Chain A
């Protein structure tokens, strides 16, 4: 059934090379996007829990805006609108970027910032799940606000939320497919291209589906290992604080072992 993947394409490669190059873009987008999202998400999540309103209000606004606009619309904003609204010298420089990178960077920025808003909510949930005594003890030891978060609060909160971060990992690799709308030839786009070139739609989409399933399994297993390694002994994983988080967790295919067994 998958024999067609090893046939020659018009450009002298094999179809499977197209798929692999698509997989490469998908992985690159998900990997680098994840670290952008993680960095910003932790900062914004911390920002949402501090008393200072000059920090907590912008953090809340960030989350509201980036969570309530569809990823596809955000993708278009970064790709089409952003170069137009910045000063024209910078805009022109952005438009000069050669093809694959011209779609890759906006997609990276879009996915990173969108996922950051979701991670921020998880981080906030993790921080709010910590007992008040952690802050008080840090205070009693004479730690200032920054040191309290840096050495006491954030490390513990991150260890608590690893299970819910699993669903964000799954979310970001699935959302990479939205980048095909701005012309990035990632996995889904390559599958469609193969189906159009060979008319073997079933094979092309089937191969892509199997690759995505493997990625889901790898992400799930890796996060389970990380959770085992860093879990605070004796603690139960944080339950999502709001129903919205629960919904997003369910939706992104995370932390529900029952469904993953089937994938195996």
Chain B
């Protein structure tokens, strides 16, 4: 066994750092797209809008039953074709792996967030709706100002835990040869042959970020539990 030499890690720090920034950017973008789209998907199912609700239910079931890597392959293949059709000339538009990753993770996470929000919508007390009706609020105002804020508040610990899992899952963009934290480390490792040090450092980085984030969520949950019990 060779002795470990972590100087290679300090030398290549800027590259690893840019990889980490990409992972975080992908997580943030997927979170925003996923939450916005997921809320819409949940509402369509909640209102039982015909045809659309069934299609969305099927989409969510399929996305949740197949591995994320297969989803990545699917979108990598489908997104240029769909964009081609949307643009009118029917020819696939290659947009590159980076944009594909952003779109894929956004659409993929939307399926998971929509499930969380859908369950949250079901859990809202009926009295809230009745009170809104008594106040003559329109359906839009009811959901915008009364129902959704409560759902998002109650579900926030679950949503954040899901986002931590999302952060870990972004490492799978490795299969698209993108340079996220793991991708950067693996490219460096192949250049300089220092596989052991690189992968150990990456593992520790993921561990530190995910654990710290989990602790924050735990604190948040405790605070929220206190707030509701009062």
Residues in A lying within 8 Å of B, measured CB to CB: 64-65, 67-74, 76-77, 80-81, 84-88, 91, 170, 174-178, 180-181, 188, 191-192, 195, 201-202, 205, 208-209, 212-213, 216, 242-244, 246-248, 250-253, 256, 258-260, 262-263
Contacts and interface: CB of A to CB of B under 8 A. Distances in A.
Given A191-B70, A212-B67, A80 B199 contact: yes
B174 interface: yes
A73 B202 contact: yes
A246 B58 CA distance: 22
A70 B69 contact: no
Interface of B: 1-2, 54, 57-58, 60-62, 64-70, 73-74, 77, 112, 115-116, 119, 157-159, 161-162, 165, 168-169, 171-172, 174-175, 182, 186, 189, 195-196, 199-200, 202-203, 206-207, 210-211, 214, 217, 221
Contacts of A251: 64, 112, 162, 165
B69 A177 contact: yes
A250 B119 contact: yes
B199 A262 contact: no
Given A178-B69, A246-B158, A251-B162, A259 B64 contact: yes
Contacts of A212: 65-67, 70
A24 B179 CA distance: 32
A187 B50 CA distance: 35
A213 B158 contact: no
Contacts of B77: 195, 201-202, 205
Nearest to B168: A70
Contacts of A244: 157-158, 161, 214, 217
B162 A209 contact: no
A149 to B, nearest CB: 27
A91 B196 CA distance: 13
Interface of chain B: mostly helix, strand, loop or mixed: helix
Given A67-B210, A209-B70, A250-B162, 20 more contacts: A64-B211, A68-B214, A72-B182, A73-B203, A74-B203, A84-B1, A91-B1, A188-B70, A212-B67, A213-B62, A243-B158, A243-B221, A244-B161, A247-B159, A247-B161, A250-B112, A250-B158, A253-B64, A259-B64, A260-B61
Contacts, number: 153
Given A87-B1, A181-B175, A247 B116 contact: yes
Contacts of B67: 174-178, 188, 212
A73 B112 contact: no
27 contacts: A64-B211, A68-B214, A69-B203, A70-B182, A72-B171, A72-B174, A76-B182, A80-B199, A91-B1, A170-B65, A174-B65, A174-B66, A177-B68, A178-B69, A180-B69, A192-B73, A205-B70, A209-B62, A213-B62, A243-B161, A243-B217, A243-B221, A251-B64, A251-B112, A256-B115, A258-B57, A260-B61
A205 B72 CA distance: 11
Q: Which 9 A-B pairs have the closest CB atoms?
A: A177-B67, A253-B64, A68-B210, A216-B65, A70-B168, A247-B161, A243-B157, A262-B61, A70-B171
B116 A262 contact: no
B213 to A, nearest CB: 9
A254 B199 CA distance: 31
